[in-house]
């Protein structure tokens, strides 16, 4: 199956959760026993009860034989390191802006980081159903914001959709059919590049998110940069300075499906997975096939935060 990895960047309350729920529903990614009430990116409390601390949310939807991993980004600069790590896993981004509120400066930080990485975002002007929506002005504000953040000519020529996440539609034109979110799905497939990876190389990934789980112990999430991960495969863990800190096995391999993380036997380069079974690995270590002697290129990050519950 083809793959796309995107980040979603929005000011709080601009409708991220509602839009992702609608994407899940329309992609048919919900199983019968999953309720939209689970709220895609809002289930932190539930997860805390279960003893898991989710630092970044990943939701996975399928559209036209392509799996789209959508990663939530924290809103402010306090999460600087985390933002960079999340952005290192994606090839595209959706900037979601409320059509009445406009482009708020709080998203500047994350947007600036995304632009600096060369990401060419898709802009979604959301809540067009609001009576006080002012889409044309908001479009201009977003253009000015991009320009002030140093966007290049390709980034300034951003594709833009008008949408109502609540009503479940997105259109390229203001007077479009307001039917469904197909235009947004299609734009993601068209505009966001596939992960550029070598699936035949030995397995390697850079751990970008660290969590602790009562049952599974340390869980490390990252994008598989090369090769294939297989459950129970032997791996070594390399620090960015090249020190081998651990050898072990991937006792658990989890891939994202809808709102869930599900155990899989195998996953290939480009996919974002969570792995368990290692006791010393941290971020931004390289977890790799034992034949790999050099850490994979890592990205600038803050010191790891491990929250035990
Ligand atoms: P988040 O904080 O970005 O995840 O935003 P939510 O999805 O939780 O939405 C914030 C508020 O905006 C809620 O009261 C939603 O009902 C409302 N909302 C979300 N999408 C739309 C929309 O398309 N139109 C309108 N009018 N309201 C919306």
ipTM score: 0.99
The residue-averaged pLDDT of 15-20 equals 93
Kindly report the number of other CB atoms within 10 A of residue 279's CB atom: 10
Task: Return d(Cα 282, Cα 114) in angstroms, integer.
Answer: 24
Q: Which of 61, 63, 26 is nearest to 165 (CA)?
A: 26
DSSP-based three-state secondary structure for 260: strand
With contact defined as beta carbons under 8 Å apart, do 6 and 70 qualify?
yes
115's tokens = 């632009």
Are 296 and 308 within 8 A, CB to CB?
Answer: no
Residue to substitute in 75, 129, 162, 166 for testing ligand 1 pocket (most ligand atoms within 8 angstroms of CB): 166
User: In the predicted model, what is the mean pLDDT of residues 130-158?
Assistant: 96
- The reply to whether ligand 1 has any atom less than 6 angstroms from the CB of 14 is yes
For the segment 38-46, the average pLDDT, to the nearest whole number, is 48
Inter-CA distances, 230 with 49, 200, 253, Å: 30, 13, 7
Q: Does the CB atom of residue 16 touch ligand 1 within 6 A?
A: yes
Tens of pLDDT along 201-214? 999 999 988 888 88
User: Are 121 and 8 spatial neighbours (Cβ–Cβ below 8 Å)?
Assistant: no
Q: Which atom of ligand 1 is nearest to 20's Cα?
A: 7
> pLDDT value at position 42?
46
Output the six-digit token pair for 275.
């792995």
Protein residue closest via CA to atom 10 of ligand 1: 13
């Amino acid at each position: 199956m083809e793959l796309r990895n995107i980040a979603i960047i929005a000011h709080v309350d601009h409708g991220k959760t509602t839009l992702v729920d609608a994407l899940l529903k329309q992609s048919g990614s919900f199983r019968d026993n999953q309720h939209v009430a689970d709220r895609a990116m809002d289930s932190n409390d539930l997860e805390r009860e279960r003893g898991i601390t989710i630092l970044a949310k990943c939701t996975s939807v399928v559209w036209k034989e392509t799996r789209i991993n959508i990663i939530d980004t924290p809103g402010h600069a306090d999460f600087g390191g985390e933002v960079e790590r999340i952005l290192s896993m994606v090839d595209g981004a959706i900037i979601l802006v409320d059509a009445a509120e406009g482009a708020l400066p709080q998203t500047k930080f994350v947007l600036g980081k995304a632009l600096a990485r060369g990401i060419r975002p898709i802009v979604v002007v959301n809540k067009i159903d609001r009576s006080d929506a002012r889409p044309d002005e908001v479009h201009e504000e977003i253009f000015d914001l991009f320009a002030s953040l140093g966007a290049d000519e390709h980034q300034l020529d951003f594709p833009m959709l008008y949408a109502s996440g609540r009503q479940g539609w997105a259109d390229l034109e203001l007077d479009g059919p307001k039917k469904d979110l197909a235009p947004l799905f299609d734009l993601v497939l068209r505009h966001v590049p596939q992960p550029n990876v070598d699936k035949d190389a030995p397995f390697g990934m850079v751990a970008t998110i660290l969590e602790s789980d009562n049952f599974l112990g340390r869980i490390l999430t990252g994008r598989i940069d090369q090769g294939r991960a297989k459950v129970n495969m032997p791996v070594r863990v390399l620090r960015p300075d090249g020190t081998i800190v651990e050898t072990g096995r991937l006792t658990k391999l989890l891939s994202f499906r809808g709102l869930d993380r599900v155990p899989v036997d195998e996953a290939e380069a480009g996919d974002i997975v969570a792995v368990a079974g290692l006791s010393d690995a941290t971020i931004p270590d390289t977890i790799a096939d034992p034949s790999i002697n050099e850490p994979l290129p890592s990205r600038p990050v803050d010191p790891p935060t491990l929250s035990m519950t």
